[in-house]
Amino acid sequence: MKLKEVAQKNAPEITSLIVAVTLWQIVAEFIIKRELLLPSFFDVVSSFISTVESGTLFIDFSISLMHFGIGVIAALLIGIPVGIVMGWFKTVNRISDPIIEILRPIPPLAWIPFALVWLGLTHTAAGFVIFVGAVFPIIINTYTGFKSVSKINVEAAKVLGCVKQRSLIRHIAFPSSLPSITAGIRIGMGVGWMCLVAAEFFGVSKNGLGYKLWWHYGLHQMDFVLMYMFMLGILGLTIDKVFRKYIDKRLLKWQSGVVV
Amino acid sequence: MGKVSIENVSQYFINREGYKTQALKDLNLEIKDKEFVCIIGPSGCGKTTLLRIIAGLENPSSGKVTLDGEKITKPDPKRGMVFQEYSLFPWRTVIRNITFGPEMQGMDKNKSEEIAEEYLKLVGLEQFKNSYPYELSGGMRQRVAIARALANDPEVLLMDEPFGSLDAQTRNVLQSELLDIWEKKQITIAFVTHSVDEAVFLADKIVMLTSRPGKITNIIDVNLPRPRNRTSPDTNQFRDRVLKILAEERVKE
């Protein structure tokens, strides 16, 4: 009964998916007929089942999440404080702005050689590349959030006895910038995720979604490649959804209604 | 005690091109303890600047302002302020907006919540305790802002056209409520407005400013008995007098 209700409610979405998968299966099996060019839906499903059964998919998930976690946590620990002091203190902004503006446009993947030279073939090296991708959006958005703290809120706080810079940052500027900061984190995590495949390409580990994608490509097992592509997409989507749900529910309750 | 003395206060602003504008010129004013003073004048006359100087948000270019003999140089919880725009912290619930001041004084959470609830009751918003500011109407928000300012137990309450953006009916209700609070809490109030009606209904004393540079032209004692009636002949006559003085000032300019 419940399943039926869900199906009825989401009929257009479900139909669209079913049609797409059917077309894909038909095109792959009867028109292209070459697994190398386009593996069929069932090829992908069977490769999925085999990696789940052997347990490698689970290890790949964990390793990739670890790389991603190292990068994103480092980006948060560095990006948010840097953005805060840049946004709050004009001199700090003028000192750090030229450096950041020079480093920022460098594509994160261009850092890979140095990541390997500095950190070797380690998980940290992969994390570093993701860090470079994630940190700038976090800095910029934290900075922008702090720049647009409403003057009237700051003055109201001062009159109420909140006068120290540190208290103003903690009690006024930070909470009021939170929408912008969390948007920065979302963008940063997205960019970091994009860097994952390349960061794992160099074999910092024998596991990881990105590494496995390349490895199977080397073996011309395109059904596995496609399966890992889907896994990267699904995991990326899930991370974003979970994060977004958390901030909307816990941190930005006060905003509902402001933006639909 | 909440006696404010303004002595020879002048204020200049220098803009980016180096242009100097004089906002206030040689202001002298005494606000007695527990007095309700309305400062009235055309927009751009420096009313808000004067209030901000009393609050300690700005320092005068020359002269000084004292509260009970003590010179004002920076903001202090002894002088509460209600702003013209909505100044509530949107990320805090109503009650947490009101506890903000006491919390900053280092009061523990339970005690400050107790105080906040008391003031919430005073402005009649107990049932909105856990709402966020975006869920409140304009009048309710300004009530919370008043409660928030009062929760610090200030000696002087500074109000910068707090009812300016409210509709006429809400404004009347809030004016009466403010008078009740003023009588209950026994504090000094300096209230900036551009509405003669509002000043005549509220004030013990009306201070008139002219614009550019802001100078005091008249100080009128409002000797109408309280509680006041908005439409009684006495009130109307008084309002007429104030309006005439304002008109004369405009001609002089």
pLDDT at B214 over 50: yes
User: Can you give the pLDDT at residue B45?
Assistant: 79
Whether A38 maps to a domain, the answer reads no
The residue-averaged pLDDT of B209-235 equals: 86
Q: Is residue A259 part of a domain?
A: no
Q: Are residues A53 and A99 in the same domain?
A: yes
3-state secondary structure chain A: CHHHHHHHHCHHHHHHHHHHHHHHHHHHHHHHCCCCCCCCHHHHHHHHHHHHHHCHHHHHHHHHHHHHHHHHHHHHHHHHHHHHHHHHCHHHHHHHHHHHHHHCCCCHHHHHHHHHHHHCCCHHHHHHHHHHHHHHHHHHHHHHHHHCCCHHHHHHHHHCCCCCHHHHHHHHHHHHHHHHHHHHHHHHHHHHHHHHHHHHHCCCCCCCHHHHHHHHHHCCCHHHHHHHHHHHHHHHHHHHHHHHHHHHHHHCHHHECCEC
Q: Who has greater pLDDT, B54 or B19?
A: B54
Where does the pLDDT of residue B253 fall: very low under 50, low under 70, confident under 90, or very high at 90 and above? low
A124 in the same domain as A6? no
Question: In the predicted model, is pLDDT for residue A101 greater than 80?
Answer: yes
Q: Does residue A159 fall inside a structural domain?
A: yes
Is the residue at A27 inside a domain? yes
**A58 and A141 part of one domain:** yes
Encode pLDDT of B86-127 as tens digits: 899 999 999 999 999 999 988 999 999 999 998 998 888 989
Cβ contact, residue pair A255, B76, below 8 Å: no
A260 within some domain: no
Q: Give the per-residue pLDDT at B98.
A: 95
| A141 and A13 in a common domain | no
pLDDT tens per residue, range B239-252: 999 898 888 877 77
Same-domain pairing of A242 and A142: yes
Assign A259 a pLDDT band (cuts: 50, 70, 90). Answer: very low
Judge if A29 and A47 occupy the same domain: no
Task: Examine the domain organization and report whether A62 and A96 are in the same domain.
Answer: yes
Task: Report chain A's mean pLDDT, rounded to a whole number.
Answer: 91
Round to whole Å and give the CA distance between A200 and A216.
13
Task: Give the chain A residue nearest B96 (alpha carbons).
Answer: A171
Summarize pLDDT for A207-253 with one digit per residue, the tens: 999 999 999 999 999 999 999 999 999 999 999 999 998 888 877 78
Contact B100 A258 (CB under 8 A): no
Q: Are residues A148 and A79 in the same domain?
A: yes
The answer, yes or no, to whether residue A258 has pLDDT greater than 70, is no
In 3D, which of A169, A170, A156, A165 has the Cα closest to residue B149? A156
The predicted model gives B209-218 an average pLDDT of: 83
ipTM: 0.89
**What pLDDT shows up at residue A1?**
61
Question: How many domains, in total, are found in chain A?
Answer: 2
Q: Give the model confidence (pLDDT) of A49-93 as tens digits.
A: 999 999 999 999 999 999 999 999 999 999 999 999 999 999 999
Is 80 exceeded by the pLDDT of residue B172?
yes
A79 and A178 together in one domain: yes
User: Cβ separation of A159 and B100 shorter than 8 Å?
Assistant: no
Indicate whether A257 belongs to any domain: no
Q: Do B83 and A152 touch (CB under 8 A)?
A: yes
Indicate the SS3 state at residue B182. Answer: helix
Residues A219 and A194 in one domain: yes
Least confident of B21-25, B59-63, B101-105: B21-25
* Mean pLDDT computed over B60-89: 89
Give A162's contacts in chain B (Cβ within 8 Å). Answer: 100, 104
pLDDT digits (tens, 9 = 90+) for A119-178: 999 999 999 999 999 999 999 999 999 999 999 999 999 999 998 999 999 999 999 999
What domains sit in chain B, N to C, each tagged with a CATH number? Answer: 1-78+195-253 (3.40.50.300)
Asked if B90 is an interface residue toward chain A (Cβ–Cβ < 8 A), one would say yes
B153 has pLDDT over 50: yes
- Please indicate, yes or no, whether residues A200 and A148 belong to a single structural domain of this protein: yes
Q: What is the mean pLDDT of chain B?
A: 89
Can you give the CATH number for the domain in which A225 is found? 1.10.3720.10
**pLDDT beyond 50 at B201:** yes
**Full domain range(s) for residue A18:** 1-33
pLDDT at position A260, please?
Answer: 39
What percent of chain A has pLDDT above 90? 79
Stronger pLDDT, B61 or A3, i.e. the higher one: B61
Closest CB from B87, B134, B152 relative to A161? B152
Same domain, A5 and A49: no
Q: Closest-CA residue in chain A for B158?
A: A159
* CB atoms B89 and A160 under 8 Å: no
